A and B are shown apart, each in its own frame.
Chain A
Amino acid sequence: EPEVTQTPSHQVTQMGQEVILRCVPISNHLYFYWYRQILGQKVEFLVSFYNNEISEKSEIFDDQFSVERPDGSNFTLKIRSTKLEDSAMYFCASSMVRQPQHFGDGTRLSIL
């Protein structure tokens, strides 16, 4: 069964550095999403992306975040200047139409 693939599985970064989290969605999917889960908290929606533009974003998704689909297969989340509170598990998801959303295994981001 096709899967959403996320790399790396664990990323450790110094505070203030830029980080890029990568996702390869399922190949024929058109909608892409990022969610995050701070340790011990709920999974939260960050952003959805369709037709090369952001379709929805949450209050969390401020100017330090950006998303991009640089080629036909990858979908990336960039955090420009990381803060300690950005430490979380980040999940990528994709869907062919708006639902259901298929999730990757996540990238654990640790900010030191």
Chain B
Amino acid sequence: KQEVTQIPAALSVPEGENLVLNCSFTDSAIYNLQWFRQDPGKGLTSLLLIQSSQREQTSGRLNASLDKSSGRSTLYIAASQPGDSATYLCAALARDYKLSFGAGTTVTVRA
């Protein structure tokens, strides 16, 4: 069974600092790895999706890398802003097409 772990569980940084969020998964036989943002009490906003054949994806200040062989993905957020404060979830799509989610990293960016 796929297990997805996110470290750290929470992170507080001053505005302008770069963020590094880590995600690990136990079964490397995945189709893709997706990063989501979730605001308190709200839905899931998809940020980046990396296919299993890709090494990274970029969108604006966000960059996500994938190392399938070691079961790791990292989300980098450059020049953080208070509006980046949220919980960030990673999810791995396994061969049975079930998404397995991590528990998330809650980010606070202090102005």
* Chain B residues, Cβ within 8 Å of A31: 97
**Binary contact readout A23-61 vs B (1 if CB under 8 angstroms, 0 otherwise):** 000000001010100000111110010000001101000
A86 interface residue (CB < 8 Å to B): no
Q: Which of A44, A55, A100, A103 contacts B44 (CB 8 A)?
A: A103
CA of A91 to CA of B102 in the docked complex: distance in angstroms? 16
Known contacts A103-B43, A104-B43, A44 near B34 by CB under 8 Å: no
Give the nearest-CB partner of A4 in chain B.
B43
B42 touches A105 (CB 8 A): yes
B46 touches A44 (CB 8 A): no
Count of chain A residues with Cβ under 8 Å from any Cβ of B?
Answer: 25
* Chain A residues, Cβ within 8 Å of B104: 42
Chain A's interface: helix, strand, loop or mixed, by majority? strand
A42 touches B46 (CB 8 A): no
Category for how many chain B residues contact A: 20 to 34
Q: List 25 A-B contacts (CB under 8 A).
A: A31-B97, A35-B99, A41-B103, A42-B101, A42-B103, A42-B104, A43-B44, A43-B91, A43-B99, A45-B98, A45-B99, A48-B98, A56-B97, A91-B44, A93-B99, A98-B97, A99-B32, A99-B93, A100-B34, A101-B99, A103-B43, A103-B44, A103-B46, A105-B43, A106-B42
A108 interface residue (CB < 8 Å to B): yes
Name A's B-contacting residues (CB within 8 A): 31, 33, 35, 41-45, 48, 55-56, 58, 89, 91, 93, 98-106, 108
A108 touches B91 (CB 8 A): no
CA of A10 to CA of B64 in the docked complex: distance in angstroms? 33
B28 interface residue (CB < 8 Å to A): no
CA of A98 to CA of B51 in the docked complex: distance in angstroms? 13
* Chain B residues, Cβ within 8 Å of A35: 99
CA of A102 to CA of B91 in the docked complex: distance in angstroms? 13
A56 touches B46 (CB 8 A): no
From A45, A91, A98, A106, residue with most partner B Cβ within 10 Å: A45
